[in-house]
Structure 1
Amino acid sequence: MKIAIIGRTEILYETARFLHDRGFDIACVITSKEAPEYTRTASDFIRLAENLDVPFAKGSNIVDHMQLLRDSTPDIGISMNYTGIVPQDVIDIFPHGILNAHGGDLPRYRGNACQAWAILAGESRIGLCVHRMIGGELDSGDIVARDYLPINISTKVTDIWRWMAKETPALMYSALQEIIKNPEFILERQSLDPQDALRCYPRRPEDGKIDWHQAAVDIIRLINASNKPYAGGFCDFNGHKMTIWEACLPSEGERFLAVPGQVTAVDECYIDVACGSGKIRVLKAEMNGHSAYPSTWVKSIRDRLK
């Protein structure tokens, strides 16, 4: 079976290598400009195509590359994080269509930044789905393979990305094996009821700004949802941007009165900060490019984070 690789991210890159090493032929590689958080760039995909001696194209409009796809005669496409919506006439080039690996529990989490939004919503698990693409639509095709990662208040988007990177190649391989045995294979048809779908829109670095008037649990979720590979949850301390990478809910249940953002405890390894309700314990922060315990900068319970 010949596969066209379409999209971006280190996960797609490793999936292509994984499938090639297991006997699948790569027909061509099409990518577009990488996002800042990606560790694999368009240059890596160029080298991948060169090493496999297959055609390569770069661009954000898949329609521009239809002739390359036809000439490559792929049986099926694999797409992840491509920058544009793929129309049906492109999908029709492939006898078995195009599979998309999506880091969200379909149909509820469709679109962008689904892992971050699921953390913010307090979900108990993250879905990873391989589904057939439908032209002009977003994450709406029949599901061919699915896996889940349980999450809790301590789960960072970093952990989810690592899990997806580990599991996606094998899940895609499993989906392809099912299609080889039965080209019409479907694990689950997605609901057509709009009430069952939740459209997730992109997040930007400034969305990681902490509002200390929120509840402690919501601030923890924001810090975890904004974590690496993204820009991080952040606040202001004495006119400097402080990015918080590690935080938790302290176990002590002190009754207190404090202005949100008030530092309530300073320890060598952490600081406690009052929120709209409850406190968070900050374990690791970054200022001016230096990552350390927050007590490196915060010295007194008279200090406040804004």
Structure 2
Amino acid sequence: METQAPPVKRVALEHGIPVLQPEKIKNNFELRAMLEDILPEAILVVAYGRIIPQWMLDLAPYGCINLHGSLLPKYRGAAPIQWAIANGENVTGVTTMRLDSGLDTGDMLLAKIVPIGQEETAVDVYECLAAVGADLMVETLCGLADKSLFRQQQDHALATLAPILTRDDGRIDFTRMAHNIYDRWRGFQPWPGAHTTLRGKKLIVHKMRASSHVAEGEPGTIVIQGDAMMAHCANGTAIYLDELQMEGKRRMSAAEFLNGYQVKSGERLGI
């Protein structure tokens, strides 16, 4: 619970590179004066969740170069990695682009495709894209410097949005197919995760997996098979709930949870 310097800052300070961390940039005249004095050729923007002011967009000859966690124009917005996984995509990637005043609408520079494993979560994919993206940013800067790289306008008609996540996105909707519920759980790690209710209390599901179970049942109805706990989903599918945590309690395996709470088949989740 202590504030720590991010890795980029630590490495910069180790190499004697000055670091500024302004709380705001739009009307920060001191920061603007400093950047205008430096006259950067390019400004790199990575994982910055606010609008870049026009004065900064216009400052550097090569502009503000952004590393975006999707294959633009798909998944513009604040949570491209999470929504790609939640929607069951098999591939994603990173794109370098020149920022403009729109929401991820600027011209593209380079892109790299990255596969998504069927069991990978947003945490796994984020780490992979970070490594791929770092190399792609260096390649982009080299291409701009030797003038071998040209900007490509996005096809705005193909754009899809990846809006900022909310707590409610983690609520399990058992009227969805099991594989879709599983994909959303993978995509929404570590937050907002996946949660529902049991006996009127919040129930967090830390681990789950889709089942080939084909018996029809009311969505959200619990099925107990030995030490395993499943819930009916849409179209005869079901989801295994392998690690759970009742509100205010510790995480438990399904076997521990069933033993501790005496859960029975036929109980309903989400009501």
Range of TM-score over shorter length: 0.7 to 0.9
Which amino acid letter does the alignment assign opposite residue 267 of structure 2? D
Gaps of 5+ in 2: none
Runs of 4+ residues deviating >6 angstroms: 39-42
Task: Tell me if the contact between 2:197 and 2:269 (Cα under 8 Å) persists in the aligned partners.
Answer: yes
Q: Percent identity?
A: 23
Instruction: Select which of 221, 227, 230 maps to 1:262.
Output: 221
Instruction: Select which of 248, 268, 271 maps to 1:304.
Output: 268
1:239 CA drift (Å): 3.1
Deviation digits for residues 50-92 of structure 1, max 9, x if unmatched?
5434151312334423212112332211101223222333122
Deviation digits for residues 212-266 of structure 1, max 9, x if unmatched?
12222221122112122x2311111233322223222223x44x24221112134
For structure 1, which segment, 287-296 or 70-79, has the greater mean C-alpha deviation from structure 2 after superposition?
287-296
1:100 CA drift (Å): 0.4
Q: Report what 2:171 is aligned to.
A: 209
Task: Tell me if the contact between 2:217 and 2:232 (Cα under 8 Å) persists in the aligned partners.
Answer: yes
Instruction: Select which of 30, 34, 41 maps to 1:68.
Output: 34
> CA RMSD of the aligned region, Å?
2.6
Distance 2:152 2:2 in 1: 32
- Cα gap change, 1:262/1:55 in structure 2, threshold over 3 Å: closer, same or farther? closer
Distance 2:203 2:111 in 1: 38
**Which aligned pairs between 1:50-199 and structure 2 lie closer than 5 A?**
50-51=13-14, 52-64=16-28, 65-134=31-100, 136-151=101-116, 153-182=118-147, 185-186=149-150, 189-191=152-154, 193-199=155-161
Distance 1:73 1:55 in 2: 16
Distance 2:226 2:38 in 1: 62
Task: Tell me if the contact between 1:55 and 1:68 (Cα under 8 Å) persists in the aligned partners.
Answer: no
Deviation digits for residues 153-196 of structure 1, max 9, x if unmatched?
533212211212222222212212222222x612x6133x4312
For normalisation by structure 2, the TM-score amounts to 0.84
Which amino acid letter does the alignment assign opposite residue 158 of structure 2? D
- Cα gap change, 1:289/1:112 in structure 2, threshold over 3 Å: closer, same or farther? farther
Distance 2:48 2:87 in 1: 25
Task: Tell me if the contact between 1:107 and 1:190 (Cα under 8 Å) persists in the aligned partners.
Answer: no
Q: Report what 1:286 is aligned to.
A: 245
